[in-house]
């Protein structure tokens, strides 16, 4: 019998036992978002949107006396609202919705610690981090290591667990932030809350990823814990559906821990209902609320006036046409990844003024798809939003092979034309590497075009840090990409190859 079956059967039996002695539970409702990524307006597909989310939050607050609204990180980075206004809009919207608690995600550091601190100064949310040491940093005044919320005569302990910034956040963007082991910090603090502070329940808000991510993951945290009851997660963009079985993980004491996550872009909101009078007897109830157009008739139009000053800059960039695409280019498929890798190769040759052997681009850096037909400047900026720069570095073949293994471990990334790589997904290793028709030479020095984020070890590409930079753009990637499209696709449509240049053996 699986953990999900145990949880459901146990919940029913314990609820009946509680009902038999006349327990009538006062409820706490926790609403959770994660990885909303600056999706102030609905997505291109018409889902999500901050005004619609406010309808749901306000409606539930109107029905339930005890409601907590929390966010599990990365409320920023993904639309022009962040590119232009650098987190100000997202902070104001979180204030408008009345978020109670939140943790930062890795993208909250995209503009550095000082920029993040400016936004937090204007935030009305209580920010939590249990495993970042912020002493002496500009962020210290805005965070607590934990919080205790008294609701219905019960004490709810709240902790926040963040990922290790090294290899994920650009070097220099998290100066002053010390990382503490996530599992050790979580379990020690949860124990303190339960045993010293006499908390009746401990809720962990996390930005570490559900599973198959660099340790620790939400599953690992749940399995190692004894005192954590609920994990509200983010980072991996996992959609943990109620009833799917993934939402219950057995902890170290053999009890089920509820783990939630809502994909990305604010398309759903998690609702967790806790019976406060039956803590320890009745498991929390979990559902997800879809944020879509059915809510449009009830939106708070006061938000329109709050957002109006910001829309002008966004609309202007979205109106500047720079090229055309022959088909829709999904950020999850090979053609767009190939297009960007070939752009990096061509632009790298232009920067270095010499031949460049290959280019590498990370698929995680592609934040949106491109439509069929007209492509605008704003869409390119949202597709490649980060403050990265194209560069060319000289890399030894053995280090390049190690970098390809890192890429294989996450299912492959982007490489330019002329590169063919086959990898074993189970071993997470490459089994065949050819560059321009020849097997990779471990002793040769290759010229590689990529972005500074990867060359500096971002996305765990530590092998590339051993290279020697020979040329670098002085502009952000999207500026170079916009010029590339205007120059090389004038009068013709973008129509990249669909070949899988880095493919799995399975």
Quote the CA–CA distance of 294 and 291 in Å, as a whole number: 8
Which residues lie across from 41 on neighbouring strands?
none
Residue 430 counted as domain residue: yes
Q: Which domain holds residue 193?
A: 3-20+28-311
* Per-residue pLDDT tens digits for 3-35: 544 444 344 333 333 333 334 459 999 999 999
Tokens of 214: 């660099």
- CB-based contact 91:125 (threshold 8 Å): no
For position 25, what pLDDT does the model report? 58
- CB-based contact 73:36 (threshold 8 Å): no
Quote the CA–CA distance of 190 and 254 in Å, as a whole number: 17
Asked whether residue 122 falls in the same domain as residue 16, the answer is yes
For position 335, what pLDDT does the model report? 98
Find out whether the peptide bond into 216 is cis, omega within 30 degrees of 0.
yes
For position 6, what pLDDT does the model report? 44
- CB-based contact 456:210 (threshold 8 Å): no
Asked whether residue 64 falls in the same domain as residue 113, the answer is yes
Residue 420 counted as domain residue: yes
* Per-residue pLDDT tens digits for 493-505: 999 999 999 999 9
CATH code where residue 105 lies: 3.60.21.10
Asked whether residue 276 falls in the same domain as residue 418, the answer is no
φ and ψ at residue 396, rounded to 5 degrees: -70, 145
Asked whether residue 342 falls in the same domain as residue 210, the answer is no
Q: Which of 252, 276, 311 is the last residue of a domain?
A: 311
Positive or negative torsion for Cα 448, 452, 456, 457 = negative
> Which residues of the chain fall below pLDDT 70?
1-25
CATH code where residue 479 lies: 3.90.780.10
Q: Which of 250, 279, 311 is the last residue of a domain?
A: 311
- CB-based contact 145:189 (threshold 8 Å): yes
Asked whether residue 99 falls in the same domain as residue 226, the answer is yes
For position 212, what pLDDT does the model report? 87
pLDDT over 90 percentage in the chain: 94
Asked whether residue 290 falls in the same domain as residue 359, the answer is no
SS3 (DSSP) at 296: helix
Which residues lie across from 162 on neighbouring strands?
207
Quote the CA–CA distance of 54 and 33 in Å, as a whole number: 12
* Per-residue pLDDT tens digits for 207-258: 999 998 999 999 999 999 999 999 999 999 999 999 999 999 999 999 999 9
Residue 245 counted as domain residue: yes
Measured from the Cβ of residue 174, the count of other Cβ atoms closer than 10 Å reads 23
Asked whether residue 32 falls in the same domain as residue 162, the answer is yes
pTM of the prediction? Answer: 0.91
> Strands 126-128 and 101-102, how do they pair?
parallel
SS3 (DSSP) at 159: strand
For position 233, what pLDDT does the model report? 98
Asked whether residue 449 falls in the same domain as residue 479, the answer is yes
C-alpha distances in Å from residue 211, one per residue of 7, 218, 280: 20, 7, 26
Asked whether residue 296 falls in the same domain as residue 402, the answer is no
Asked whether residue 227 falls in the same domain as residue 350, the answer is no
* Element spanning 185, H or E: helix 182-195
Asked whether residue 265 falls in the same domain as residue 376, the answer is no
Q: Which of 288, 311, 334 is the last residue of a domain?
A: 311
> Strands 373-376 and 143-144, how do they pair?
unpaired
Residue 316 counted as domain residue: no
SS3 (DSSP) at 500: coil
DSSP 453-488: HHHTTGGG-GGGGGSEEEEE-SS-HHHHHHHHHHHH
Which residues lie across from 132 on neighbouring strands?
179
Asked whether residue 378 falls in the same domain as residue 275, the answer is no
Looking at the structure of the chain, the number of domains it has is 2
Question: What dihedral do alpha carbons 394, 397, 402, 408 form, nearest 10°?
Answer: 100
Residue 370 counted as domain residue: yes
Positive or negative torsion for Cα 167, 72, 318, 338 = positive
């Amino acid at each position: 019998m699986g953990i999900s079956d145990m949880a459901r059967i146990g919940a029913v039996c314990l609820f009946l036992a509680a009902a038999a002695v006349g327990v009538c539970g006062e409820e706490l409702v926790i609403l959770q978002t994660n990885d909303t990524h600056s999706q102030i307006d609905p997505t291109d597909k018409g889902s999500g949107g901050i005004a619609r989310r406010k309808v749901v939050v306000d409606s539930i607050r109107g029905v339930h006396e005890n409601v907590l609204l929390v966010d599990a990180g990365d409320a920023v980075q993904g639309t022009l609202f962040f590119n232009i206004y650098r987190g100000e809009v997202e902070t104001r919207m979180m204030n408008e919705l009345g978020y109670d608690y939140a943790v930062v995600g890795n993208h909250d550091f995209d503009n550095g610690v000082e920029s993040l601190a400016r936004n937090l100064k204007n935030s009305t949310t209580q920010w939590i981090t249990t495993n970042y040491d912020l002493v002496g940093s500009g962020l210290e005044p805005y965070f607590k290591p934990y919080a205790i919320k008294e609701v219905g005569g019960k004490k709810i302990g709240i902790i926040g667990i963040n990922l290790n910034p090294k290899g994920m956040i650009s070097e220099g963007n998290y100066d002053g932030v010390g990382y503490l082991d996530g599992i050790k910090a979580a379990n020690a603090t949860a124990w303190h809350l339960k045993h010293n502070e006499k908390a009746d329940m401990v809720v962990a808000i996390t930005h570490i990823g559900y599973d198959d991510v660099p340790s620790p993951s939400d599953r690992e945290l749940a399995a190692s814990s004894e005192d954590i009851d609920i994990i509200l997660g983010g980072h991996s963009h996992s959609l943990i559906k109620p009833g799917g079985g993934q939402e219950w993980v057995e902890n170290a004491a053999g009890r089920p821990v509820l783990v939630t996550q809502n994909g990305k872009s604010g398309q759903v909101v998690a609702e967790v209902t806790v019976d406060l009078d039956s803590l320890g007897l009745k498991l929390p109830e979990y559902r997800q609320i879809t944020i879509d157009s059915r809510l449009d008739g009830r939106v708070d139009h006061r938000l329109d006036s709050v957002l109006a000053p910001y829309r002008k800059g966004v609309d202007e960039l979205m109106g500047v046409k720079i090229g055309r695409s022959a088909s829709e280019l999904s950020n999850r498929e090979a053609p767009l990844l190939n297009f960007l890798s070939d752009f990096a190769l061509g632009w790298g040759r232009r920067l270095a003024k010499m031949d460049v052997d290959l280019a590498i681009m990370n698929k995680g850096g592609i934040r949106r798809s491109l439509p069929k037909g007209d492509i605008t400047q704003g869409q390119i900026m949202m597709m490649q939003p980060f403050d990265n720069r194209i560069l060319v570095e000289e890399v030894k073949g053995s280090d390049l092979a190690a970098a390809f293994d890192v890429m294989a471990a996450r299912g492959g990334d982007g490489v330019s034309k002329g590169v063919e790589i086959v990898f074993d997904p189970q071993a997470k290793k490459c089994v065949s590497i050819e560059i321009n028709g020849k097997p990779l030479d471990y002793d040769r020095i290759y010229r590689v075009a990529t972005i500074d984020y990867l060359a500096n070890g971002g996305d765990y590409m530590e092998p590339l840090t051993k290279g020697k930079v020979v040329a670098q753009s002085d502009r952000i990637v999207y500026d170079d990409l916009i010029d590339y499209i205007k120059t090389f696709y004038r009068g013709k449509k973008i129509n990249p190859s669909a070949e899988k240049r880095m493919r799995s053996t399975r």
